[in-house]
Structure 1
Amino acid sequence: MSPAESRRPALARRLRALREEQWPELGITQAQIAHAIGGSRPLSISLISSWENAEKPIAPPVRRLDAYATLFATPRSVNGETVRVLPLDQLTDEERDRHDELLGELLSLRDGRDRAAEPVPDIWSFPENEDVTIVCAQLPTEYRQHLTYADPDSADFVSLYTYADPDALIELFGHIRSVNPQHQVSFHTTAELTPDDYTTHLVLLGGVDWNTVTRDVIERVDLPVEQVVRADEAPTSEPGGFRVRRDGGSELFPPQLDSEGHLLEDVAHFYRGVSPFNRKRTVTVCNGMYGRGTLGAVRALTDVKFRDRNSGFVRDRFGGAKSFSIISRVQVVAGKGLTPDWTVADNRLHEWPEAA
């Protein structure tokens, strides 16, 4: 019997104790838990019973334990006969701390190790002696032709003015260099890449409309997500979005703009997988429908206020998966894109692989 299996009876007893002993005066039933945890698709009472059965324990998926932790983090989850799981962003700081503590305990009982004591690995940390190449699109000619600093014939030429997504590039290059001080970390436009660059760890910034390497990679990997490019910059044009294929159909997640074309909410896509050009290296795509989405995909795992919790979410949600994808909202306030918090369910529009 593995260490995890030996501890699952304790998890079953703990789940039962939460229901019966956390707020004994409320008399919470398995049926109420089934409705609360299942949300719009209530679970069966027999499934809840199996999770509480210490004789033949069945371990709930991580996302169900997350729901348990949220529910029992606050008595506000119970209102009369109604038991519900509040959105994480509605919890107070004290309740959020209780959620994190309880989730760590339940995951420890499920997996046989103390998750809370484990350091959260930085997703931008790469093995020694493995180079990293960040790839940006070149700003199209029509956007550069009136910029003196983007003209190679000008004495004032600055090459960075020819790059698309320079804010995302600066943010990510600095972070990767700081996490991997002994590595060779370089950045190039798509036109500057050499054959050797393709076989390093690739980090691709921007979408398929301008970044041709992003397009080449997405076409070569098994991913149910495709980018629908914007028609043009006119406020009345279709804004495009990220289309997800599922169950024989598809769903489009577009950015949100007002009637005058001001961006209210962008959509970010983060993908990490095995490189199609070198199976011993990775490829990472940080993409958005607009620049603030691309920056949001980057800052989700570089912003000091969010990177640990988002990295923890990736660890707990995807485990050791070699490939995964998250599409998330990027709120825009006063023209600034805000870092997405992936632990807030409403911020996550789609996750792949699908949760069990």
Structure 2
Amino acid sequence: MTGGGPSAALAERLRRLRLSEWSSPVKQQQLARALGVSVPLISSWERTTDPRTPPSERLAAYARFFATQRSLDGGKPGLRTDLSPEEETRRRQLEDELLTLRDAAGALPGPRLPDRLANLPPRAGPWYFADGAPVTIVCGELPAEHRADPAYTDPDSPDYVALYNYADLDSLVELHGHVRAANPQSDVWFMPASLVTSDHLTTHLVLLGGVDFNDLTTAVLDSLGVPVRQQTRLTGDPDDEGELGFEVREGAGQSFRPVLHEENGGRILVEDVAHLCRGQNPYNALRTVTVCNGMFGRGVYGAVRTLTDKRFRDRNANHMWSRVPDAQTFSILFRVRMVMGEVVTPDWTRPENVLHEWSA
């Protein structure tokens, strides 16, 4: 080992992982792409003279990458979340080793085991896009009659707040922050469907909400051939909301509806139906499209939380990827339960939560 103290020892270990861990060396460009960093940064971590010390989350990504040679499958370097038990054991061993070297180098320790073993950092999760391309979140826009006080929604008002015009604000705040954290080098925009241009359509596209306020959702699902349709609430009888839901248009056909209970003279949402779909962007084959939708706003939020909640996002992502190993289109309808008015993040590995699945 090259001399130079604990920092050099970590640098040397990272270099040996890249050059000698497998039968063929991994190029710095390949590793940089998988980790979502620059080649000069990889070099700065590997040099034994005055090396930079990677943060703990980067070392966790190193461990995941070198746990399996499948990280290079298809010529597209990336971080696998579908590790076998043997690969997972190797990942943990590597992560422990690298973090121990980092601590010996005098770096401030990052969050330690076991929490980090239980879930990936956002940069390795289902909202990470390794190509660094822009991401556009397209939201529904509330009709004027559904908006808040004009003092906040009238552009001429001194107290104007543009976000009051958006539907599904809880979902937007949750998702935008998570996508930004997962892709710090990417532009991440959000806008109502009415402002979307052709340039936005060809980014990684995320659609929040459905047919009531986001016209783009139906157009994208039609392009993907997904046999799931949402019934609109705007043209129906408000007293019949419990009869509305999602229809599956294949085989004998099925309908799935939210559950509402009568309480204190009103109707309380007990269980919503949500829809998540991910596939190849129909407007740009090199990008993705993801639809997060629900019959009500609580369902949209539940759809978002399936892939952002750190307690469930990895197992749900693994469930999705296990059904579409070649990155085909995946669609899932599922239950979103309320407990004391709070949305409980759905767990797709529990069969009772899954209503319908489809892949291209």
On whether the aligned pair clears a TM of 0.5, the verdict is: yes
The letter for the 1-side match of 2:147 is: R
Find the counterpart in structure 1 of residue 354 from structure 2: 348
Find the counterpart in structure 1 of residue 238 from structure 2: 234
Find the counterpart in structure 1 of residue 132 from structure 2: 129
Which has the higher mean CA deviation after the structures are superposed, 115-124 or 305-314? 115-124
The letter for the 2-side match of 1:292 is: R
Secondary structure (helix, strand or coil) at the match of 1:311 reads helix
The letter for the 1-side match of 2:331 is: S
Find the counterpart in structure 1 of residue 199 from structure 2: 196
Matches within 5 A, 1:204-223: 204-223=207-226
Conserved? CA contact 2:148–2:164, under 8 Å: no
Matches within 5 A, 1:105-124: 114=86, 116-117=88-89, 121-124=124-127
Question: Aligned partners of 1:239, 1:189: CA distance in 2, in Å?
Answer: 28
| Number of residue-to-residue matches in the alignment | 243
Superposed displacement of residue 128, structure 1: 2.9
Find the counterpart in structure 1 of residue 65 from structure 2: none
Question: Aligned partners of 2:243, 2:297: CA distance in 1, in Å?
Answer: 13
Find the counterpart in structure 2 of residue 326 from structure 1: 332
Q: What residue ranges of structure 2 are gaps of 5+ in the alignment?
A: 1-82, 92-118
Secondary structure (helix, strand or coil) at the match of 1:280 reads coil
Question: Aligned partners of 1:139, 1:112: CA distance in 2, in Å?
Answer: 46
Q: Deviations over 1:270-313 (max 9, x none)?
A: 00011111111111000000000000000001011111221222
Secondary structure (helix, strand or coil) at the match of 1:174 reads helix
Question: Aligned partners of 1:239, 1:156: CA distance in 2, in Å?
Answer: 39
Question: Aligned partners of 2:183, 2:247: CA distance in 1, in Å?
Answer: 34
Q: Aligned pair 1:175/2:184, yes or no?
A: no
Q: CA RMSD in A?
A: 2.1
Change (3 A) 1:154 1:232: farther
Find the counterpart in structure 2 of residue 243 from structure 1: 247
Q: Aligned pair 1:144/2:147, yes or no?
A: yes
Secondary structure (helix, strand or coil) at the match of 1:258 reads strand
Q: TM-score, normalised by structure 1?
A: 0.64
Superposed displacement of residue 318, structure 1: 3.0
The letter for the 1-side match of 2:256 is: F
Conserved? CA contact 2:132–2:183, under 8 Å: no
Q: What residue ranges of structure 1 are gaps of 5+ in the alignment?
A: 1-110
Q: Percent identity?
A: 47
Conserved? CA contact 2:209–2:293, under 8 Å: yes
Matches within 5 A, 1:17-96: none
Q: Aligned pair 1:187/2:159, yes or no?
A: no
The letter for the 2-side match of 1:123 is: P
Runs of 4 or more, structure 1, over 6 Å off, are none
Find the counterpart in structure 2 of residue 301 from structure 1: 307
The letter for the 2-side match of 1:164 is: A
Conserved? CA contact 1:269–1:327, under 8 Å: yes
Superposed displacement of residue 232, structure 1: 4.3
Which has the higher mean CA deviation after the structures are superposed, 169-178 or 223-232? 223-232
Question: Aligned partners of 1:290, 1:269: CA distance in 2, in Å?
Answer: 11
